[in-house]
Amino acid sequence: MSYALREENGFTYIEEGKGETLLLLHGLMGALSNWQDVVDAFKDEYRVVLPILPIYDLPLLTTGVKSLSKFVHKFIKYKKLTNITLLGNSLGGHVGLIYCLAHPDMIQTLVLTGSSGLYENAFGGSFPRRENRDFVKEKVEYTFYDPAIATDDLVDEVYATINDRNRVIRILAMAKSAIRHNMGKDLPKIKIPVGLIWGRNDHITPPEVAVEFNKLLPDSTLYWIDKCGHAPMMERPEEFNMYLKEFLQKVKNKK
């Protein structure tokens, strides 16, 4: 990513721009670079902040989605963030949902893209052939509509991650925590405006998941991106940013 990482008080993050806050949360094996095009598009108008979630650093017994929500709260308090729009992809969206329920006054607007929380079809409960790079490549390509997005660098990064014993144990623990923590009954309690920006070809959190989110969240707007998989902000950044701007403007016009 072309932006400098900052390290303070146990937090590692990127911060660019001034104004109302856009807080971006990455997924289980996502990286800050997944949000590069969003930062580029919004840093002139917003204070864009991206913390690295401590997925690999939590004690195994507390590795779970609730612990990540508590981490986000500590980060928000430390940075004194206000007027927050929280954007979450995949696991990051799930963490955002839990956070909004725990701290309903802290977040003004929520945007989910390929969010877990209802159903996901990820690697499953194990990595049966994690030493096989071709298997890993196939799984990374499955994330996108266009397999070319799964560059060699990205495949190598995921391959290295899931072949690190400490990391893979925590990935599996976090994935199981996300599956157990179904949000279906809680979604109607989230009253803030929620934007759902979804790839029509998402295999991991398929389109019916977006439809269910839209049905259960009282104030939600659903945007579809064609020929797009699980990470729209990476695969179709121009369309993603267009819908994000449209949604944020719609929320401002309501105020």
Given pLDDT bands bounded at 50, 70 and 90, which one contains residue 127?
low
Nearest to 92, CA basis, from 126, 109, 70, 69 = 69
| pTM assigned to the model | 0.94
**DSSP code, position 204:** S
Evaluate if residue 42 carries a pLDDT over 60.
Answer: yes
**DSSP code, position 60:** G
Place of tokens 């930062």: 39
Distance, in Å, from the CA atom of 231 to the CA atom of 25, rounded to the nearest integer, reads: 12
Nearest to 107, CA basis, from 78, 86, 93, 121 = 86
Given pLDDT bands bounded at 50, 70 and 90, which one contains residue 32?
confident
Evaluate if residue 30 carries a pLDDT over 70.
Answer: yes
Q: Burial, 61: exposed, middle or buried (Cβ in 10 Å; 0-12, 13-18, 19+)?
A: exposed
Backbone region of residue 122 per phi and psi (left: phi > 0; alpha: psi in -120 to 50; beta: other values): beta
The tens digit of pLDDT for each residue in 53-108 reads 999 998 888 899 999 999 999 999 999 999 999 999 999 999 999 999 999 999 99
What is the reported pLDDT for 124?
A: 47
Instruction: Give the other-Cβ count within 10 Å of 106's Cβ.
Output: 17
Helices (H) and strands (E) in the chain, counts: 9, 8
The tens digit of pLDDT for each residue in 197-254 reads 999 999 999 999 999 999 999 999 999 999 999 999 999 999 999 999 999 999 999 8
> In this prediction, what percent of the chain has a pLDDT beyond 70?
97
Contact 23, 15 (CB under 8 A): no
